[in-house]
Amino acid sequence: MSKIVDKTLRIGLLKCDTFIPEVRNKFGDIDVQFRNLLNQNTINANVDLNVFEIASENRFPDKKDITSNHYNGFIITGSRSSVNDDNEWTNTLKDYIRFFSNNNIKTVGICFGHQAIATALGGEVTMNDKGWMVSDHSFKIKDSLQSNNNYSKIHKSLSPKDDSTINIICSNKQIVSKIPQGFEIIGGSDICPNHSMIKDNQFLSFQGHPEYTPNLIKTIIQTRRGLIPDDVIEDGIKRADNSKIDQSTYANTILNFFLNKDV
């Protein structure tokens, strides 16, 4: 049975990479993963996803469309690139993030996008001295958010069953080591203390990939043998086989964020 749609959101997807053919031919590209994720929402929302190939084509949205409320907000995707790279599209992306900040444009960052928001607004991203994070990982949502009038709803949204631990699939070796001024940490873990952050119901970001499925991450990490140590890959496959990720929780949280509801 199809769900009854009572709201439609237009979201710009700033696509920062393209899957290699071995992954893309089996699962579709990055934008397909985000469509699949957001379609798992249970809040009766329909998503019109406008894709911008910012890495491969240096194609960004028109700033006039942004300020005219053409979009409910933007999602910045993951990437194999580093946010510390000095190239045209990454520098332009950071300029856009500052533009979003100055014009109160809602923005969600995923993995590379999380790190791009941090570096564009005064934070820092460094190599994780604890090594690669791959596959299913859990992070603890800060209990103090429950008593924070500004952010108590994000705690409830990410932990609808009153469980302060939530799982997400990861694929990264760099982490946000310093968050920008004015941001609040949502949660983290020993291996990634600044896993997720929020600011003023305008920025929301995660180090992990809520759009990734267990089968997808198993394929991705196996294509990276030689880059990721074999023992980390084997552990990642086991983690994926026992994954506890709940994509509908992330879909609801992200879309409610864009709708100014419950976060």
- For residue 236, the tally of other CB atoms under 10 A from its CB is 26
Q: Which tens digit of pLDDT belongs to each residue from 188-240?
A: 999 999 999 999 989 999 999 999 999 999 999 999 999 999 999 999 999 99
Q: Which tens digit of pLDDT belongs to each residue from 47-93?
A: 999 999 999 999 999 999 999 989 999 999 999 999 999 999 999 99
Work out the percent of the chain whose per-residue pLDDT is above 70.
95
What confidence score (pLDDT) does residue 263 get?
52
5 confidence band (pLDDT: 50, 70, 90): low
Mean pLDDT of the chain: 93
3-class secondary-structure state, position 188: strand
φ, ψ for residue 114, nearest 5 deg? -60, -45
3-class secondary-structure state, position 202: coil
Residue keyed to tokens 């000095």 = 86
Token pair of 139 as six digits:
């992070």
pLDDT at 161 over 80: no
Distances (CA, A) of 66 to 10, 24, 136, 152: 11, 30, 35, 29
CATH fold, domain 7-129+175-213+246-258, is: Rossmann fold (3.40.50)
Per-domain residue ranges of the chain: 7-129+175-213+246-258
